[in-house]
Amino acid sequence: MDIAVVSLFPEMLVPFAEFGVVGRAVQRKLVRMETVDPRRYATDVHGTVDDRPYGGGPGMLLRVEPYATAIAAARTRVPDGSPVIFLTPQGQVFDQAVARRLAALPGMILVAGRYEGFDERLIEMACDEELSLGDFVLSGGEVAAMAVIDATLRLLPGVLGDEQSAVEDSFSTGLLDHPHYTRPEVIHGRAVPDVLLAGDHEAIRRWRRKQALGRTSLRRPELLRGENLGSEDRRLLDEFLEERQPGNEDDNRPLH
Ligand code: 9D3
């Protein structure tokens, strides 16, 4: 996949493309990432990319011309059929289903804004799709672009290598994750749940499924609304909710 990011702060993307899962994907040439800085396409000597809003009001807007030219330059860096995706607070909320859709593309152009955002005519002319990370205020689109890239690249064949974690991940199951424990067996009086130590793998699978269902039901009930739980899932969730009395912290209780 070829990705071009249009940004006034291209340096923000450099360490992102160097480390961890994304860094490895770049190294292995499973993805090509480039940045295009609209300031380089400004027409005046000062490299002006912003201007004051018509109608008044606070803040500055991003001008059409430098961004339109930068996006045209970005088009030459990605395959035909790569959509131009603006990161804006007004966009569709990014989720795992969107990540799966993007992972099937040959490439994409991500456009990150700053200040109060874009002149609307740029969006009308040059944007195929707007994405948001959710209802909170960022200082610009770069962090959102990195989140979109990260979630998308993880779904490309070969990117995760041996860790086939992507398929078993929360959200591919549609549920929140179950709790995890590693050594030591007891810390600050808190023990690892017995079932995880006993070696009964069917019991462990059931316990994890039950925890995942229970936590999803308590913390993110909207994720379960669409789901039609099977008979085992319904029984496990009923058990979880039954066992959850005030004061019963079950396996997580301190041992003193
Ligand atoms: C505080 C300024 N807001 C006035 C009503 C508007 C506003 C403009 C520009 C708010 C944020 C931004 C910059 N945000 C992004 O570029 C952005 C974003 C976000 O803020 N939240 C969630 N997803 C995204 S994607 C891009």
- pLDDT tens over the chain, length 256 residues: 999 999 999 999 999 999 999 999 999 999 999 999 999 999 999 999 999 999 999 999 999 999 999 999 999 999 999 999 999 999 999 999 999 999 999 999 999 999 999 999 999 999 999 999 999 999 999 999 999 999 999 999 999 987 655 555 667 789 999 999 999 999 999 999 999 999 999 999 999 999 999 999 999 999 999 889 999 999 999 999 999 987 776 555 555 4
Among candidate residues 130, 169, 233, 239, the one labeled active-site is: 169
The interaxial angle of helices 231-243 and 201-219, nearest 10 deg, is: 70
Residue with tokens 């993007």: 102
Which ligand 1 atom minimizes the distance to the CA of 59?
Answer: 2
Q: Edge to edge, what strands does the sheet with 2-6 contain? A: 32-36, 2-6, 107-112, 84-93, 129-132
- What tokens does 220 get? 């993110």
Who's near 169: CB < 8 A, 6+ residues apart? none
pLDDT of residue 256: 46
Contact 138 CB / ligand 1 (< 6 Å): yes
Among candidate residues 63, 114, 154, 209, the one labeled active-site is: 154
Residue type, 147: A
On whether the pTM is more than 0.75, the answer is: yes
Integer-rounded Cα Rg, in Å, for the chain is 23
Clarify whether 169 is annotated catalytic: yes
Which domains does the chain possess?
2-162 (3.40.1280.10), 170-243 (1.10.1270.20)
pLDDT of residue 255: 54
Mutate to test the pocket of ligand 1, among 12, 116, 119, 127 (most ligand atoms within 8 A of CB): 116
pLDDT of residue 230: 97
pLDDT of residue 63: 98
Ligand 1 centroid–CA 90 distance in Å is 8
CB 5 within 8 Å of CB 33: yes
Closest C-alpha to 111, from 1, 24, 9, 42: 9
pLDDT of residue 227: 82
Torsion of CA 35, 38, 44, 47, to 10 degrees: -70
Residues paired with residue 62 on neighbouring β-strands, in sequence order = 50, 118
